[in-house]
Amino acid sequence: MEKKQFQAESKRLLEMMINSIYTKREVFLRELISNASDAIDKIYYKALTDDSLVFDKDNYYIKIVPDKESRTLRVIDTGIGMTKEELETNLGTIAKSGSLAFKKETDLKDGYDIIGQFGVGFYAAFMVADVVTVISKALGSEEAYKWESTGADGYTIEPAEKDAVGTEIILKIKENTEHENYDEFLEEYSLKSVIKKYSDFIRYPIKMDVNTSRKKEGSDDEWETVSEEQTVNSMVPIWRKNKSELTDDDYTNFYNEKHYGFDKPLKHIHISVDGAVRYNAILFIPESIPFDYYSKEFEKGLELYSNGVLIMNKCADLLPDHFSFVKGMVDSEDLSLNISREMLQHDRQLKLIAKNISKKIKSELLALLKEDREKYETFYQSFGRQLKYGVYSDFGAHKETLQDLLMFYSSKEKKLVTLDEYVTRMPEDQKYIYYAAGESIERIEKLPQAELVSEKGYEILYFTEDIDEFAIRMLMNYKEKEFKSIASGDLGIESEEEKKEAEAEAQENKELFDAMKGVLSGKVKDVRISKRLKSHPVCLTSEGDLTIEMEKILRQMPN
Ligand code: ADP
Ligand code: MG
User: Do 491 and 484 touch, CB atoms closer than 8 A?
Assistant: yes
User: Do 230 and 213 touch, CB atoms closer than 8 A?
Assistant: no
What pLDDT is attached to residue 347?
79
- At 221-241, the pLDDT tens digits run 888 889 999 999 988 888 988
- Residue % of the chain over a pLDDT of 70: 93
Backbone angles phi, psi at 474, to 5 degrees: -70, -35
Alpha-carbon distance of 304 to 478, in angstroms, equals 37
Amino acid 299 reads E
Amino acid 171 reads L
Say if residue 155 is exposed, middle or buried (CB neighbours under 10 Å; 0-12, 13-18, 19+): middle
Cα 431 to Cα 213, 426, 477, 479, 484: the distances in Å are 76, 9, 11, 12, 9
What pLDDT is attached to residue 112?
56
Distance 558 CA to ligand 2 centre (A): 52
Question: Which has more pLDDT, 97 or 415?
Answer: 415
As a whole number, mean pLDDT of residues 423-451 equals 89
As a whole number, mean pLDDT of residues 140-145 equals 96
Q: Which atom of ligand 1 is closest in space to residue 100's alpha carbon?
A: 4
As a whole number, mean pLDDT of residues 105-134 equals 82
Find residue 168's DSSP bridge partners. 76, 135
**Closest protein CA for atom 15 of ligand 1:** 98
What pLDDT is attached to residue 545?
63
Is 99 a pocket residue for ligand 1 (Cβ < 6 Å)? Answer: yes
Distance 110 CA to ligand 2 centre (A): 20
What pLDDT is attached to residue 557?
65
Question: Which has more pLDDT, 100 or 193?
Answer: 193
ipTM, 2 dp: 0.99
- At 536-551, the pLDDT tens digits run 777 677 666 667 677 7
Give the residue, out of 17, 31, 90, with the most ligand 1 atoms within 8 A of its beta carbon, to mutate for a pocket test. Answer: 90
167 is in an annotated binding site: yes
What pLDDT is attached to residue 296?
87
DSSP result, 233-300: S--S-GGGS-GGG--HHHHHHHHHHTTS-SS--SEEEEEEEESSSEEEEEEEE-SS--TTTTSTT---
Lowest model confidence (mean pLDDT) among 71-85, 93-107, 209-223, 485-499: 485-499
Cα 148 to Cα 131, 134, 174, 176: the distances in Å are 7, 6, 16, 22
- At 156-181, the pLDDT tens digits run 999 999 999 999 999 999 999 999 99
Residue among 441, 469, 465 at smallest CA distance from 548: 469
Q: Would you say residue 290 has pLDDT above 90?
A: no
Q: Would you say residue 559 has pLDDT above 60?
A: no
Which value, to the nearest 10 degrees, does the dihedral of the CA atoms of residues 438, 443, 447, 453 take?
80
As a whole number, the mean pLDDT across the chain is 88
Element (H, E) at 422: helix 419-424
| Torsion region of 494: left, alpha or beta (phi above 0 gives left; psi -120 to 50 gives alpha) | beta
Alpha carbon 303 to its chain's center = 5
What pLDDT is attached to residue 548?
67
What pLDDT is attached to residue 493?
73
What pLDDT is attached to residue 467?
92
Is 35 a pocket residue for ligand 1 (Cβ < 6 Å)? Answer: yes
Strand stretches in 464-550, DSSP E: 477-478, 481-485
Alpha-carbon distance of 36 to 47, in angstroms, equals 17
As a whole number, mean pLDDT of residues 150-158 equals 88
What pLDDT is attached to residue 58?
85
Q: Would you say residue 342 has pLDDT above 90?
A: no
Residue among 12, 18, 33 at smallest CA distance from 126: 18
- Residues in contact with 186: Cβ distance below 8 Å, sequence separation at least 6, in sequence order: 66, 67, 68, 71, 73, 173
What pLDDT is attached to residue 497?
76
Backbone angles phi, psi at 104, to 5 degrees: -65, -45
User: Do 529 and 509 touch, CB atoms closer than 8 A?
Assistant: yes
Residue among 508, 155, 105, 154 at smallest CA distance from 145: 155
Q: Specify which of 211-220, 245-254, 485-494 reaches the highest per-range mean pLDDT.
A: 245-254
Is 117 a pocket residue for ligand 1 (Cβ < 6 Å)? Answer: yes
What is the maximum span of the chain, computed from C-alpha positions, in angstroms?
Answer: 114
User: Do 337 and 316 touch, CB atoms closer than 8 A?
Assistant: no
Is 167 a pocket residue for ligand 1 (Cβ < 6 Å)? Answer: yes
Give the residue, out of 33, 35, 126, 169, with the most ligand 1 atoms within 8 A of its beta carbon, to mutate for a pocket test. Answer: 35
Alpha-carbon distance of 162 to 165, in angstroms, equals 8
Q: Would you say residue 36 has pLDDT above 70?
A: yes
As a whole number, mean pLDDT of residues 376-403 equals 93
Alpha-carbon distance of 299 to 283, in angstroms, equals 16
Q: Which atom of ligand 1 is closest in space to residue 119's alpha carbon?
A: 8
User: Do 125 and 32 touch, CB atoms closer than 8 A?
Assistant: yes
